């Protein structure tokens, strides 16, 4: 429960880093349970931040005449899918602010369920890698450490690769 609540707090209160908490989860509980606890905490924290922004910021954004056309455009089905993909991709990159994305998504017309699914799908692989990295650091197996570093680097570079591929499309 402590890991889950610390992960939630790290999401809702921006200055608290969540990476070290996830690594501790891996060191204490191993990759399976550690990942489960981190994913539950990340998802709960992201949903809480999303709801805070939705209830406190969305109405304010609707009242500003200049933002209304943008929010209406973002509310279209095509844009909902795009917003969902942005949330998903941002969850795969460890150095993009998790909490900022959650709060920003809350002031867009992105539906709660789409946000929930995109966050969950993006959190699982990243959480596993960070938790696994924490476990590997404790075991001090240099081969396992190298594999974890390569996987984390690959996940971090994935959005850059996707952008290049997307730019090539006619």
Q: By the 8 A CB rule, do 18 and 46 touch?
A: no
CA distance 43 to 13: 14
CA distance 93 to 115: 17
pLDDT over 70 percentage in the chain: 76
Count H helices and E strands in the chain, helices first.
Answer: 7, 0
Range name among 1-10, 114-123, 151-160 with the lowest pLDDT average: 151-160
Give the pLDDT score at 117.
Answer: 95
Q: Regarding predicted confidence, which is higher, 34 or 153? A: 34
**What's the pTM?**
0.73
**Lookup result for tokens 């996830």:** 22
pLDDT tens, residue by residue, 54-108: 888 777 776 677 766 766 666 666 678 888 998 998 888 877 788 888 888 888 8
Q: Is 97 helix (H, G, I), strand (E, B) or coil?
A: coil
pLDDT at 127 over 80: yes
CA distance 3 to 164: 37
CA 45, distance to chain mean position in Å, is 10
Q: By the 8 A CB rule, do 7 and 41 touch?
A: yes
Give the pLDDT score at 156.
Answer: 62
Q: Which residues of 130-167 are buried (b: 16+ CB within 10 A; e: fewer)?
A: bbbbbbbeeeeeeeeeeebeeebeebbeeeeeeeeeee
pLDDT tens, residue by residue, 135-153: 877 766 566 666 766 766 6
CA distance 123 to 105: 15
């Amino acid at each position: 429960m402590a890991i889950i609540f610390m992960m939630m707090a790290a999401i809702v209160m921006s200055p608290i880093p969540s990476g070290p908490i996830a690594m501790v989860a891996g060191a204490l509980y191993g990759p399976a349970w550690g990942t489960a606890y981190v994913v539950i905490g990340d998802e709960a924290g992201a949903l809480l931040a999303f709801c805070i922004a939705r209830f406190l910021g969305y109405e304010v954004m609707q009242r500003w005449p200049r933002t209304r056309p943008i929010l209406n455009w973002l509310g279209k089905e095509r844009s909902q899918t795009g917003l969902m993909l942005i949330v998903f991709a941002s969850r795969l990159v460890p150095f993009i602010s998790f909490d900022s994305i959650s709060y920003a998504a809350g002031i867009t017309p992105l539906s709660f369920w789409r946000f929930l699914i995109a966050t969950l799908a993006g959190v699982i692989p990243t959480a596993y890698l960070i938790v696994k990295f924490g476990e590997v650091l404790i075991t001090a197996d240099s081969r396992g450490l190298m594999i974890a570093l390569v996987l984390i680097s690959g996940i971090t570079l994935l959005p850059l690769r996707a952008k290049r591929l997307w730019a090539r499309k006619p």
